[in-house]
Structure 1
Amino acid sequence: MKSLTRQLKQKQQDNETIFVPYIMAGAQGLDQLADEIRLLTEAGASAIELGIPFSDPVADGPVIQAAGLRALENNVTLRKIIQQLKHIETPTPLVIMTYFNPIFSYGLEEFIRDLAKTNVLGLIIPDLPYEHQTLLTPLLKESDISLIPLIALTTPRERIIELTAAGEGFIYAVAVNGVTGIGRKYQETLDEHLAYIQQVSDKPVLAGFGVSSKEHVDRFRKSCAGVIVGSKIVQLLSEGKQTEVSAFIKEAVSN
């Protein structure tokens, strides 16, 4: 069992709310990344998802797209982010969220080798289909980096069983059809869908996309282990509201 899976399963067994904030690495400048990770850690983040800026972010809503564009304007790249992460120490597991193209351009073997020199314990690649994961899984086998699967509302149940069995770290349950963003409406069948994923999964299931309030967190805790929050965190950080970010996370993880 890899470290990310073990740490999050322990929180789940202790009935703690697993809260994973997402930030766009470099949106406020790479020199701010260490401070942002420290802020989220001190607020109570279970793990931290770091977005990598990309020119064609198909899963990202307007807030995260805008943050990615700011990072690209700051000449932030995947290679620069990893170099920065080599110098950042944190007790909180880090998870990279990137599209496959930046990894391919980096070089698959070099990417995994460099990533292993950081505190990154998880990897999310939204545009890498399950059938093509063998491009990376042999390289990840000897590392402590988990390849985290995404499960959509439209994923058939047989496929859900397959994805949860193969996935590591946690299971990313996409709570809406479409892209990330604040103010999304959830389908009535969502809680049943999430409960089924958690039933067949031996890893924690986290709901993401559209989660932006304490009420959302409380709702999802009834059917899965916790949440991933992106757009709300990214928006507040872009407005310089670090205190509000900290207060939101502390409230969300309190039982």
Structure 2
Amino acid sequence: MFVPAGLHPPHVERLHLDQIAWAGASLFEVGLAHHDAGLDGPVIQAAYRRALRRGNVLDHTLHTVEHASGLRPTVVMTYWEPVDRHGPEHLARLFADAGAAGVMVVDLPEDQAARWQEAAKAAGLHTPRLVPRRGTGSDSDLTRVAAGASGWLYAPASTAPTGYSGPLDLPALADFTERLRAASPLPVVSGVGISTPALAARVAPLVDAVVIGTPIVRALTTDPDQVRALTAAFAQALIPNTATETRA
């Protein structure tokens, strides 16, 4: 499950994480709020703005990771700007000490990739890599992008920002997944645009894990009482096809 850190007071957030874990999520992805989340749609951007207004974003995220990692394996999703501002080596160590298994920088600049991957490796963190279908045209591009990744490769199910709720081009996703598997032995995870349990069930056979986010974030924002049932519906749709992470 994808959960933006700092959306609610800490004691409420811990309760939500507990409920999501009990309902069937097998991994948490914790979002570090950012003011310019260009790859995210309006629901997650609004959640980030709410978290930013609460202040102490990094501290809140570290506390969220500490609790989440006691429930399920946990990774952090961030943009490059906070990593650069706090320092890759410093931030990697903070997240590792908080219990994170990895950190995915979704807009990692190519000229900073080696530094980030070295810092994360030194801290004992995996470095999953988001690999968009657009912008990685050749197989050599895929091999180059995947070379420094560890943990998994993230293949968005849609080329739109998170929160997309239209039809998915599943043949294109299947083709892209096969190209990624030819380029790297890492598992392939998919998210973005997987807006319903029915869609999750259709994507699951194509990949090694599915990430669900915007539906959960929307519920956390508007009707938290529905989060447990919604998580359970997605988890049930994926059994026995694949594991559940979360972001979408």
Indicate yes or no: 2:122 matched with 1:142.
yes
Task: Report the number of matched residues.
Answer: 235
Indicate yes or no: 2:24 matched with 1:44.
yes
- Unmatched segments (≥5 aa) in structure 2: 241-248
Pairs within 5 Å for 1:96-245: 96-154=76-134, 155-156=136-137, 157-187=139-169, 188-238=171-221, 239-240=223-224, 241-245=226-230
Q: Note closer, same or farther for the CA distance 1:192–1:115 as it changes in structure 2 (3 Å cut).
A: same
Whole-angstrom CA distance in 2 between matches of 1:147 and 1:121: 9
TM-score with structure 1 length normalisation? 0.83
Indicate yes or no: 2:236 matched with 1:251.
yes
Q: Deviations over 1:15-42 (max 9, x none)?
A: xxxxxx1111111233333222222222
Whole-angstrom CA distance in 1 between matches of 2:131 and 2:69: 31
Shift of 1:145: 0.7
Amino acid of the residue matched to residue 229 of structure 2?
E
Pairs within 5 Å for 1:49-68: 49-68=29-48
Q: Say which is worse superposed, 138-147 or 78-87, in terms of deviation.
A: 78-87
Match of 2:7 in 1: 27
Amino acid of the residue matched to residue 228 of structure 2?
T
Whole-angstrom CA distance in 1 between matches of 2:205 and 2:3: 25
Q: Deviations over 1:122-166 (max 9, x none)?
A: 111122123321222222223321111111112122211222332
- Unmatched segments (≥5 aa) in structure 1: 1-20
1 or 2, which has the higher helix percentage?
A: 2
Whole-angstrom CA distance in 2 between matches of 1:87 and 1:247: 20
Whole-angstrom CA distance in 1 between matches of 2:67 and 2:229: 27
Q: Deviations over 1:51-83 (max 9, x none)?
A: 111111111101101111111122241233214
Identity of aligned residues (%): 26
SS in 2 for 1:103: helix
Shift of 1:84: 5.0
SS in 2 for 1:147: coil
Match of 1:81 in 2: 61
Q: Deviations over 1:158-191 (max 9, x none)?
A: 2112223321111110222231114133234222
SS in 1 for 2:155: strand
Shift of 1:85: 3.5
Shift of 1:90: 1.4
Whole-angstrom CA distance in 2 between matches of 1:111 and 1:62: 27
Measured on the aligned residues, the alpha-carbon RMSD in Å equals 2.0
SS in 1 for 2:220: helix
Decide whether the 8 Å contact of 1:44 with 1:253 is kept in 2: no
TM-score with structure 2 length normalisation? 0.86
Decide whether the 8 Å contact of 1:40 with 1:48 is kept in 2: no
Decide whether the 8 Å contact of 2:201 with 2:238 is kept in 1: no
Shift of 1:211: 0.7
